[in-house]
Structure 1
Amino acid sequence: MLDVRRMQVLRAVVASGSVTGAAAHLGYTPSAVSQQIAVLEKEAGIALLERFGRGVRPTAAGRLLTEHAAAIGRRVTEAETALADLRAGRTGRIAVRYFATAGADLVAPALARFRAEHPGVRVDLRIAEGAPDADADLTLVVRPRGGAPDAYGEGLRLVHLVDDPYRVVLPKGHPLAGRRAAVDLAELAAEPWVGSERPGPCLDAVLDACAAAGFSPDIAVECEEYATAQGFVAAGLGISLVPLMGLGGRHPGVVVRRVRGPEPVRAIHAAVRESSLDLPAVRGLLTALREV
């Protein structure tokens, strides 16, 4: 197998026309250069240089390897430049996974800000519910508020971004709809509920808050989509709790009020690959998500 470093020595000899000139350029002794060429000729199985006047010139095989050495040198230079751009956050690719309700209010404005500051970085953005994607640099996840450690799974770090409080969605004409103040969660204990969450940390945030208020909600209608849940509420089939980020499209037949005693909150975090935290682009995206 041909040694790439020895090919670059050959290139230097051909460029200078002599072993002595190549040695001076490379900072080697002429003897060391001669030894490198001898080993390379043994690897190639053919002579690469021939004497010419007071110097040397390449044989046909030597010209062939010199051309390839030049191409390899260019590729190495390109790789070094690309690596420097990646380290500086000028180029690269970031794989980001997010859940749907974080898109409009959190991901979209953060990504717009990020692209203005890092125009050469490509962001691969896809929806992924649940656990962090193993192939992603950053995945948005929901965890219990106040209970999540910095470390999150092998090779991942959990970074808190924002707390997303829940609001009670009431049908127009409901006795509590005319109240401007926050609704006590206990006042909803006897109501039929429209469940807006699938099993998981979001639903846990609602159930834990209800348990703290002294009751378990009576789920009359199961629904795992916020807009549809509002439709059931508007039809008078129950009340529902929906996170603030899930209320982007407000149904005209409902009223939304704050909740207290306690206020259910889902904590949104970024699960980031430890190795990706070394990239300025990933740190820049985290900053944009926090600022938004």
Structure 2
Amino acid sequence: MTLDDLRVFVAVCRAGNLSAVARDLGCTQSAVSQHVKRLEKETGIRLLERHPRGVAPTPAGRVLQAAAADGIAGLDSALRSVGELARGEAGSVRVTTGATTVRHFMAEAVVAFRSRHPKVTLEFRTETSSHDCFAALASNTVDLAWITLGRPVRGIEQRPVTELPWVLAVRSDDPLADRSHVQVADLAHIRHIRLPENSSSRAHLDTAFARLGIHVTSDTSVADWDTAILLAELGLGHAIVPALPGRQDRNGPHPLRLLPIPDLPKLSVGWAVRRWDALSPLARAFADTVTATP
């Protein structure tokens, strides 16, 4: 029994005539008959009744026709979907990252990707650490993870996209606000708003502090970079955060300054995947779009 046997059989049941199907398929009536005979031999029962003006399915034939028609329709739909995926026309892209990443790193890329692939579903899943992003990749629940890059992780490939310098976020009325930049020695005297405990960015910063011999005090911690900046704007402390794309000194009720800290090593961010060569064309296209967008 082959898929062609079933396709021909369903066509014969619908047309009620072997010769009509043969004409549609561009083959002989004998070839059409052979498809039906193979099915009857394998099932061990007659599937068609011959009449003077054509054929009609037997009760067993109607059962097989209904099942085969449903199966062929489902298979054809799946093959169309597979073709669309191969051509990058439809499907889904599943991305995991931090809470503020899409706003700062992907906003323009999402718009550009959507205009090129209007039928594609984009799924964003928020995690609070690179470790959780790696777990999501390992469990195959996401295709891509945007992370703060760090030490190699077995079974995960990491690809840097950009490096972010560090800045100190302070209110414009802060004693440090008039400076063009901040020295690391100045950080020992700030009221530090600490980054999330389990985040790669905090680990990166703590390692830099230890290497430079800097000790900072903190009575406040936050869940993400944006919240740290907001608390600094409200005058609740000083935030050491990456220089996020689009973030600038801000005027308003509580003017904010972002002062470079050139002595701190830059933070590398980018993509993590299980295997680049196993990514779907859509996931690769999305990753490339984000990478190429300034």
Fold-level match, TM-score > 0.5? Answer: yes
**Contact 2:128 2:199 (C-alpha < 8 Å) held by counterparts:** no
Q: Deviations 1:128-164 (Å, cap 9, x if unpaired)?
A: 22222231111222223xxx44xx443x432322222
Counterpart of 2:147 in structure 1 is 141
Greater alpha carbon shift after TM alignment, 69-78 vs 247-256? 247-256
Mapped partners of 2:280, 2:270: distance in 1: 19
Counterpart of 1:256 in structure 2 is 258
State TM-score, norm by structure 2. Answer: 0.76
Name the aligned partner's letter for residue 272 of structure 2: A
Change in Cα spacing, 1:101 to 1:31, as seen in structure 2 (3 Å) is closer
Counterpart of 1:79 in structure 2 is 78
The structural deviation recorded for 1:184 is 1.8
The structural deviation recorded for 1:253 is 4.5
Mapped partners of 1:73, 1:231: distance in 2: 57
Name the aligned partner's letter for residue 162 of structure 2: V
Change in Cα spacing, 1:13 to 1:229, as seen in structure 2 (3 Å) is closer
Mapped partners of 2:262, 2:32: distance in 1: 83
Describe the SS at the equivalent of 1:124. Answer: strand
Q: How does 1:118-157 map to 2 (within 5 A)?
A: 118-130=117-129, 131-132=132-133, 133=136, 134=139, 135-144=141-150, 148-149=151-152, 152-154=153-155, 156-157=156-157
Change in Cα spacing, 1:8 to 1:241, as seen in structure 2 (3 Å) is same
Mapped partners of 1:235, 1:82: distance in 2: 51
Counterpart of 1:164 in structure 2 is 164
**Contact 1:186 1:210 (C-alpha < 8 Å) held by counterparts:** no
State TM-score, norm by structure 1. Answer: 0.76
Change in Cα spacing, 1:114 to 1:248, as seen in structure 2 (3 Å) is farther
Mapped partners of 2:47, 2:197: distance in 1: 71
Which runs of 5 or more residues in structure 2 are unaligned? none
Mapped partners of 1:27, 1:209: distance in 2: 80
Q: Deviations 1:20-69 (Å, cap 9, x if unpaired)?
A: x6999499979964751333442xxx421344469865434334533543
Identity of aligned residues (%): 24
Counterpart of 2:184 in structure 1 is 185
Mapped partners of 2:120, 2:231: distance in 1: 43
Name the aligned partner's letter for residue 36 of structure 1: R
Name the aligned partner's letter for residue 143 of structure 2: D
Name the aligned partner's letter for residue 242 of structure 1: V
Counterpart of 1:65 in structure 2 is 64
Mapped partners of 2:28, 2:70: distance in 1: 19
Mapped partners of 1:254, 1:59: distance in 2: 82
Counterpart of 1:113 in structure 2 is 112
Greater alpha carbon shift after TM alignment, 54-63 vs 114-123? 54-63
Counterpart of 2:97 in structure 1 is 98
**Contact 2:249 2:256 (C-alpha < 8 Å) held by counterparts:** no
Mapped partners of 1:291, 1:52: distance in 2: 67
Mapped partners of 2:170, 2:185: distance in 1: 15
Counterpart of 1:284 in structure 2 is 285
Describe the SS at the equivalent of 2:100. Answer: helix
The structural deviation recorded for 1:258 is 0.5
Change in Cα spacing, 1:26 to 1:289, as seen in structure 2 (3 Å) is farther
The structural deviation recorded for 1:195 is 1.7
**Contact 1:205 1:265 (C-alpha < 8 Å) held by counterparts:** no
Name the aligned partner's letter for residue 243 of structure 2: L
Which runs of 5 or more residues in structure 1 are unaligned? none
Mapped partners of 1:26, 1:166: distance in 2: 76
Q: Deviations 1:216-263 (Å, cap 9, x if unpaired)?
A: 3222433444455446545666433122229579582442211112x3
